[in-house]
Amino acid sequence: MVTAPSDTQRAIDAVWRIESARLIAGLARIVRDVGLAEELAQDALLTALERWPVSGIPDNPGAWLMTTAKHRALDELRRNQRLQRKHEELGHTIEATQPDLARDLEAALDDDVGDDLLRLVFTSCHPVLSSEARVALTLRLLGGLTTDEIARAFLVSEPTIAQRIVRAKRTLAEAQVPFEVPRGAALAARLSSVLEVVYLIFNEGYSATAGDDWMRPGLCEDALRLGRIIAGLMPDEPEVHGLVALLEIQASRAQARVGPSGEPILLLEQNRARWDRVLIGRGLAALMRAEQLGGARGPYALQAAIVACHARAATADDTDWPHIAALYAALVDLTPSPVVELNRAVAVAMAFGPAAGLAIVDTLTSNPALAEYHLLPSVRADLLFKLGRLDEARADFERAASLTRNARERDLLLARAANCTRASAP
Amino acid sequence: MRFMVIMIPGDKNVEKGAMPDAQTIDAMMKFNEELVKAGVMLAGEGLHPTSKGARIKFSGGKRTITDGPFTEAREIIGGYWLWQVKSKAEAVEWASRCPALEGDTLELRQVFEPADFGPEIAQKEAALMERIGKGIEKNQESGRK
């Protein structure tokens, strides 16, 4: 089947997006180096770009690419063996790190593709790399994004990302990071590192403003897809399902967060008809899986359970605030944080009245970590207002307004401050 | 982006409630599994024959309700999927891998998202304030947004 060149190019791009991660993963196990594996995979892609426009896309394009790349891998290994033999002739002692060709190719044919993909996940998210490097490498090797796409998504130049990826590969090679899935005691911490990368990518996408390059909100989809892939590879890990649940439900609100004039809308004021029910359903199912695996108290599962409470409420008034307050209490126990405690205060106020919430907020006012955090005085002001303590409320609204960098938010806070003077006590 | 993928079976016996053989079911389950493992599958269901359904026609200010079967219909939908993909080409590539039977057709339709609703909306969205851009901060106060 011969199609127009641009159609074939797009089709090949699609094949690459579907097959590249598995291809790189399978090669990485043979050559024991993700950098080399990616090069070999790219070479196979180039060959495909030459041949497929003429011969048509093969029935099993993944297998075609793997076979092509493996031939090149074999050549590479043979070349290195020749080099090694040459060195031995010259009397140099080389560590016998060369894999046994026949054994490895045999194993490569038999081994589960999923295992290789998982090895690639843990390698590209290795803690020896900086967060930035892990994100770029993961999007590149597992997400199938081009360097240019990653650069646009993170608002940096393409050479910056290219360099970041080159250095990441070099760091992995120099640190001799083995291409494997961590086991036993090491697994939990390494998994945490993987999930953190996915969450970082999602947050970057979630923070995109509508005027941005569309690669940016697209990061949410990329993160969701990565999360789902990892959940498929590690179905018995509750925190993976917890993270996926959190992302699915947060993403479900994407279309409701923005008003007709482009203004941001708070969750409690969002039109819930615009919440994506498909994603909510998926999120609730993933949360249930996490809970069934005994992971209800994991940090991601707890955060997911909180957003799930909102997702289940048909209207804001239906929100189960006592449950949310309890979940925040569990979360603060697990990952102590003044911001989480502030969120707990908000939930407690909604559940048990403003005085109860204020009691918690007042324990945070002298916390240096929150000294410049505008939401602290903002929340406090709101609670004081509800309690009829208008002078104090006005002072805190003004303080919050002075701390926020957002002009619209400042206007809103100043308006509320002005309202304190005009309002009569409830 | 999302695509709805509609299966139009070639075999008219599907309408009579005939179930596909074990091999076909198995192959389709494996295909669905691949979609799930790739993070692409959002939803997917098979549909009962039209005999269990109904049609409502809106015409001349009136609604006319007809119960199935709809034997005169040329293309009857047997099932659908909802996929999350990067491009139409990716949706096409996945669809090409479907273990469909002789005579089957898959129709791919892109799902509307608000960004598709014209430049005017996009312009309004472009005036969005920095507030919505504070992703991490807002996520930390997830109870409020």
What is the domain-level CATH number for residue B6? 3.30.70.1060
Pull the structure tokens for residue B17: 């409630």
- Cα–Cα distance measured from residue A322 to residue A324, given in angstroms and rounded to the nearest whole number: 5
Nearest Cβ partner for B144 among A267, A279, A340 = A267
Quickly name the fold that domain A113-180+190-209 has: Arc Repressor Mutant, subunit A (1.10.10)
CB contact under 8 A, B84 and A224: yes
For residues B35 and A229, give the distance between their C-alpha atoms in angstroms, rounded to a whole number: 10
Instruction: Provide the 10 A C-beta neighbour count for residue B120.
Output: 8
- Domain ranges across chain A: 1-111, 113-180+190-209
- Which three-class secondary structure state does DSSP give residue B81? strand
Give A97→chain B minimum CA distance, Å: 34
CB contact A267 to B (< 8 Å): yes
**Contact predicate B58/B126, CB 8 Å:** no
Q: Is A140 helix (H, G, I), strand (E, B) or coil?
A: helix
8 Å CB contact between A384 and A416: no
Q: What does the alpha-carbon distance between residue A26 and residue A111 come to, in Å, rounded to a whole number? A: 9
The count of other CB atoms within 10 Å of the CB of residue A22 is 20
Query: A263 and A319 in contact (C-beta within 8 Å)?
Result: no
Is residue B69 reached through a cis peptide bond, with omega within 30 degrees of 0 on the bond before it? yes
Give how far B72 is from chain A: nearest CA, Å. Answer: 33
Return the pLDDT at B123: 46
**Strand pairing partners for B46?**
B79
**Contact with chain B for residue A262, Cβ under 8 A:** yes
Say whether residue A343 is in contact with chain B using an 8 A CB cutoff. Answer: yes
Note the pLDDT of residue B12: 78
Report the distance separating Cα B99 and Cα B103, nearest Å: 12
Q: What's the pLDDT score for residue A95? A: 39
List the single residue in A with minimal CA-CA distance to B113.
A255
Q: Which residue has the tokens 């949706």?
A: B91
CB of A140 within 8 A of CB of A206?
no
Per-residue CA distances from A111 to A7, A69, A307, A323 (Å): 34, 17, 39, 46
Closest CA–CA distance from residue A118 to any residue of chain B (Å): 12
Q: How far apart are the first and last CA of chain A?
A: 76
Instruction: Say how far apart CA A144 and CA A38 lie, in whole Å.
Output: 11
The whole-angstrom separation of Cα B44 and Cα B27 is 15
Kindly give the confidence (pLDDT) of every residue in chain A, 426 residues in length, as a single tens digit, with 9 standing for 90 and above.
Answer: 555 557 888 999 999 999 999 999 999 998 889 999 999 999 999 999 999 999 999 989 999 999 999 998 888 778 877 766 665 665 544 334 445 555 555 555 545 677 999 999 999 999 999 999 999 999 999 999 999 999 999 999 999 999 999 999 999 999 999 999 999 889 999 999 999 999 999 999 998 876 777 788 899 999 999 999 999 999 999 999 999 999 999 999 998 987 776 677 889 999 999 999 999 999 999 999 999 999 999 999 999 999 999 999 999 999 999 999 999 999 999 999 999 999 999 999 999 999 999 999 999 999 999 999 999 999 999 999 999 999 999 999 999 999 988 788 888 899 999 999 876 545
Residues A399 and A386: their CA atoms lie apart, in Å, by: 18
A258 and B CB contact within 8 Å: yes
Closest to A113 in 3D by CA, of A145, A66, A71, A46? A66
- β partners of residue B44: B81
Name the β-bridge partners of B109: B4
Question: Using CB atoms, which residue from A10, A282, A347 is nearest to B89?
Answer: A10
Which residue on chain A is closest to B42 by alpha carbon? A278
- B contacts of A262 (beta carbons < 8 Å): 124-129
**Which residues of chain A neighbour B44 with C-beta distances below 8 Å?**
none
**pLDDT class of B136 with cuts at 50, 70, 90:** very low
Number of C-alpha atoms within 13 angstroms, CB side, residue A250? 31
Asked if A409 and B127 come within 8 Å (Cβ–Cβ), the reply is no
Residue A398 backbone phi and psi in degrees, to 5: -65, -40
CA distance B47 to chain A (A): 18
Q: Which residue in chain A is spatially nearest to B139 when comparing CA positions?
A: A203
Contact (CB<8Å) A225/B142: no
Nearest to A149 by CA among A17, A48, A244, A36: A17
Dihedrals φ, ψ of B109, to 5°?
-130, 125
Cα separation of B139 and B134, whole Å? 8
Q: Would an 8 Å CB–CB cutoff place A340 in contact with chain B?
A: yes
- Angle formed by the axes of helices A299-312 and A277-292, to 10°? 140
Q: From the centroid of its chain, how far is CA A349?
A: 31
A247 to A222, A280, A304, A309: CA distances (angstroms): 11, 10, 8, 14
Residue B34 located in a structural domain:
yes
Predicted model pTM = 0.86
- Rounded to whole angstroms, how far apart are CA atoms A110 and A383? 63
Give the alpha-carbon dihedral of B49, B51, B52, B57, to 10 degrees.
110
- Domain housing B102: 2-113
The pLDDT of residue B19 is above 90: no
Residue-wise pLDDT tens digits, B52-100: 999 999 999 999 999 999 878 788 999 999 999 999 999 999 999 999 9
The verdict on residue B122 lying in a domain is no
Tell me the two tokens of residue A220: 């949410």
How many domains does one find in chain B? 1
DSSP-derived 3-state class of residue A67: helix
Tokens 């699609």 belong to A14
Tell me if A211 and B131 make a contact (CB, 8 A cut-off): no
Helix (H) or strand (E) holding A279: helix A277-292
Distance from CA of A261 to the nearest CA of B (A): 5
Residue B129 lies in a domain: no
CA–CA separation, A26 vs A32, rounded Å?
10
How many CB atoms are closer than 10 A to CB A189? 10
Which residues of chain A does B37 touch, with a Cβ-Cβ cutoff of 8 Å? Answer: 114, 229, 232-233
Q: Does the distance separating the beta carbons of B124 and A262 come in below 8 Å?
A: yes
Residues from chain B contacting residue A310 (CB–CB below 8 Å): 143
Q: State chain B's mean pLDDT as an integer.
A: 83
Residue A90 has a pLDDT of 57
In a domain, residue B61? The reply is: yes
Instruction: Pick A229's closest partner by Cβ from B39, B92, B141.
Output: B39
